[in-house]
Chain A
Amino acid sequence: MKILVPVKRVPDYEAKIRVNSEKNGIVTDGIKWIVNPFDEIAVEEAIKIRDGGGAEEVVVVGIGPEDSVTQLRYGMAMGADRGILVKHDGYVDSDLASRVLAEVYKKGEYGLIIMGKQSIDSDANQTSQLLAERLNLPQACFASKVELSDGKAIVTREVDGGLETIAVSTPCVISTDLRLNEPRYASLPGIMKAKKKPMEELTLADLGVEDSTKVRILRMNPPAERSAGRKVEDVAALLAALQNEAKVL
């Protein structure tokens, strides 16, 4: 079995993101780009499954400009076997991403897709579900534990109010939540090895995918700044402020 792991290039989660003056994008000067943290967890899980004998190959796939190769190479430095970059310079919404990934999936013989539950830039939390439906596969989203056995994935899901365990048939789409695992760091030998691993480049046209989207961003706005309040002396002063100023007690 092969595992497909979509990997997205996103700004570092510690970066302070600012809207540009045209209000149609963010200021990218000085931004460090990383693998979407949830996708890193997905790569880690896929590698663990492979190394435990549950799969033969882990393939990372990205959609984006040429630079996205860096994030795919990082996934391969962690241990993925090869990469596929679907080159696309334009805007990608969840719908377009899911159509691209569905075609990539159909071209290989994959038995499982593991991916992040959301990307920390667009925060939409849609692509894994869209992809599952498009491929008519079951899904197990927000996973904190994954076990594969006898053509089934037993997945513990982080849901409102607790932990739910669902058994779905494989192939399926699993989306990762934070506590699934601790992703390893790419080692130096891993980084050296990754440079020699195969990287395939495709276009939307190669996959027969139409370049269209369903959600258009009209403008981007900075959030209202919340002004800092004040420091209080001690617990008594805090209680007084809550009672008399904020009137919340």
Chain B
Amino acid sequence: MSGSILVFIEQASGEPQKSGLVALEAARQIQAKWGNGSISTLCLGAGAKGAAEAMLQYGVAKALYSEEASFSQYRAIAYEAAFLKGMESVGATVGIAAATTTGKDFLPRCGVQLDAGQASDIIAVNDDGSLRRPMYAGDVLADVEITSEKKLVTVRTSAFAAAEPTATSGTSEELNGVAVGENAGEITSFEASGGDRPELTEADIVVSGGRALQSEENFEKYIFPLADALGAAVGASRAAVDSGYAPNDWQVGQTGKIVAPNLYVAVGISGAIQHLAGMKDSKTIVAINKDPEAPIYEVADFGLVADLYEAVPELTEKVKAAKAG
């Protein structure tokens, strides 16, 4: 029988984040195929104890946590050390994290110490136990097998549902004795790009703007009101980010965020391959673009060929009226 699975759960103020529950769902599917003994979780940073206790309702064997100061801010070397210690303490042979900028950053490092291969950004667990992951901006879906004894996996957060609570059975346990190397570095500042809108990868509706918006001011004037009327997160194409109209962490695409909301509204976005890679699994796609030949229409359920500067304010008003009525 294979060893157990350790899942890294990101938490904020004692709340497990959705990305972690998605990773847990993937872990359950992997356990069913690979026959791993049990699933445990690890939460780090201030509030980790509360988050670990919250994880117990998901039927995990051990909910590990550490609130030590070295984990109060994310640093790859510190989180790597904690995850390796956690895997050792629960006898894990499989380590799983969501493919967020945190999971992507620290998990590969663990592979060197564990002599483990890693499947990145998986979107499915196949019947034969192989893992499906996109390559070439999603033009290829590869079924891969990790051939090393120990295995690491990062999970695309838009590809699995969040795990549902099950029976409470395990225990929470503080993770002690993690030695963090002196070269872990120091976080000197953090500039949040957020605001009050939903998180892009967790939002039910996303409104994205492209190069046709022409300026940061137009993002504020046209995209924000529509997003707020819909209760949506705001995204952007790479072209819009490159042109400085929107911050990078709004970027939807192969090299940015991968989203699959119920409704994706692409405004002034032509639909380059790398953008489609980030949103084509959305349930319903709307495109508003004045070029009737734009490739975005090849994936859009509903296309409106129109000048965005007229159509978007009109849509915003109509959505508001519909919601009010």
User: A1 contacts the other chain (Cβ, under 8 Å)?
Assistant: no
B94-122 CB mask vs A (1 if < 8 Å, else 0) is 00000011101111111111001111110
Beta-carbon contacts under 8 Å, A202-249 to B: 213-223, 226, 228-232, 234-236, 238-239, 241-243, 246, 248-249
Shortest CB–CB separation between residue B278 and chain A, in angstroms?
12
Binds A, one of B21-29, B59-67, B140-148, B208-216: B140-148
Chain B residues near A185 (CB-CB < 8 A): none
Chain B residues near A235 (CB-CB < 8 A): 304, 306, 311, 314-315, 318
Instruction: Check A226 against B183 for contact (C-beta < 8 Å).
Output: no
Q: A166-B187, A215-B144 are in contact. Are A161 and B249 (CB under 8 A)?
A: yes
Instruction: Check B241 against A179 for contact (C-beta < 8 Å).
Output: yes
B287-299 CB mask vs A (1 if < 8 Å, else 0) is 0000010000111
CA A130 to CA B80, docked complex, whole Å:
12
Q: A139-B76, A218-B130, A223-B138 are in contact. Are A236 and B112 (CB under 8 A)?
A: no
CA A76 to CA B284, docked complex, whole Å:
46
What is the chain A residue whose CB lies nearest that of B296? Answer: A228
The range of chain B's interface size is: 35 or more
B262-281 CB mask vs A (1 if < 8 Å, else 0) is 11000000001110000010
User: A68 contacts the other chain (Cβ, under 8 Å)?
Assistant: no
Partner of B193, one of A120, A132, A163, A228: A163
CA A139 to CA B146, docked complex, whole Å:
25
Chain A residues near B189 (CB-CB < 8 A): 164-165
A117-132 CB mask vs B (1 if < 8 Å, else 0) is 1101111111101101
Shortest CB–CB separation between residue B164 and chain A, in angstroms?
23
What is the chain B residue whose CB lies nearest that of A98? Answer: B112
User: B159 contacts the other chain (Cβ, under 8 Å)?
Assistant: no
CA A219 to CA B86, docked complex, whole Å:
33
CA A228 to CA B303, docked complex, whole Å:
9
Instruction: Check A123 against B105 for contact (C-beta < 8 Å).
Output: no
Shortest CB–CB separation between residue A22 and chain B, in angstroms?
13
Beta-carbon contacts under 8 Å, A150-172 to B: 154, 157-169
Q: A166-B188, A248-B263 are in contact. Are A11 and B147 (CB under 8 A)?
A: no
A141-156 CB mask vs B (1 if < 8 Å, else 0) is 1101000000000100
User: B135 contacts the other chain (Cβ, under 8 Å)?
Assistant: yes
Instruction: Check A221 against B304 for contact (C-beta < 8 Å).
Output: no
What is the chain A residue whose CB lies nearest that of B261? Answer: A248
Beta-carbon contacts under 8 Å, B63-104 to A: 74-77, 80, 100-102, 104
CA A238 to CA B238, docked complex, whole Å:
26
Partner of B140, one of A17, A126, A144, A214: A17
What is the chain B residue whose CB lies nearest that of A24? Answer: B142
User: A184 contacts the other chain (Cβ, under 8 Å)?
Assistant: no
Q: A130-B108, A166-B185, A248-B205 are in contact. Are A215 and B140 (CB under 8 A)?
A: no
Chain A residues near B179 (CB-CB < 8 A): none
Instruction: Check B187 against A120 for contact (C-beta < 8 Å).
Output: no
CA A246 to CA B261, docked complex, whole Å:
13
Shortest CB–CB separation between residue B261 and chain A, in angstroms?
9
Instruction: Check B303 against A13 for contact (C-beta < 8 Å).
Output: no
User: B172 contacts the other chain (Cβ, under 8 Å)?
Assistant: no
User: A58 contacts the other chain (Cβ, under 8 Å)?
Assistant: no
Instruction: Check B284 against A242 for contact (C-beta < 8 Å).
Output: yes
Instruction: Check A141 against B136 for contact (C-beta < 8 Å).
Output: no
Instruction: Check B302 against A217 for contact (C-beta < 8 Å).
Output: no
Instruction: Check B185 against A123 for contact (C-beta < 8 Å).
Output: no
What is the chain B residue whose CB lies nearest that of A128? Answer: B108
Shortest CB–CB separation between residue A136 and chain B, in angstroms?
8
Shortest CB–CB separation between residue A21 and chain B, in angstroms?
14
CA A121 to CA B139, docked complex, whole Å:
10
Instruction: Check B193 against A214 for contact (C-beta < 8 Å).
Output: no
CA A238 to CA B80, docked complex, whole Å:
48
User: B242 contacts the other chain (Cβ, under 8 Å)?
Assistant: yes
Partner of B183, one of A123, A138, A164, A219: A138
User: A178 contacts the other chain (Cβ, under 8 Å)?
Assistant: yes
Q: A94-B108, A160-B102, A241-B302 are in contact. Are A166 and B262 (CB under 8 A)?
A: no
Q: Told that A142-B101, A214-B117, A228-B299 touch, could you supply 7 new A-B pairs with CB distance under 8 A?
A: A19-B140, A38-B255, A137-B183, A142-B105, A164-B189, A218-B145, A221-B142
- Chain A interface residues toward B at CB < 8 A: 11, 13-14, 16-19, 26, 38, 93-95, 98, 117-118, 120-127, 129-130, 132-134, 136-142, 144, 154, 157-169, 177-179, 213-223, 226, 228-232, 234-236, 238-239, 241-243, 246, 248-249
The 3 closest A-B pairs by CB, nearest first: A214-B117, A229-B301, A129-B108
24 A-B contact pairs sorted by A residue (CB < 8 Å) = A94-B108, A95-B111, A126-B118, A138-B185, A154-B188, A161-B193, A162-B191, A164-B187, A167-B185, A178-B242, A213-B147, A214-B118, A215-B146, A220-B135, A220-B143, A221-B132, A228-B298, A229-B285, A229-B301, A235-B311, A238-B286, A238-B304, A241-B302, A249-B230
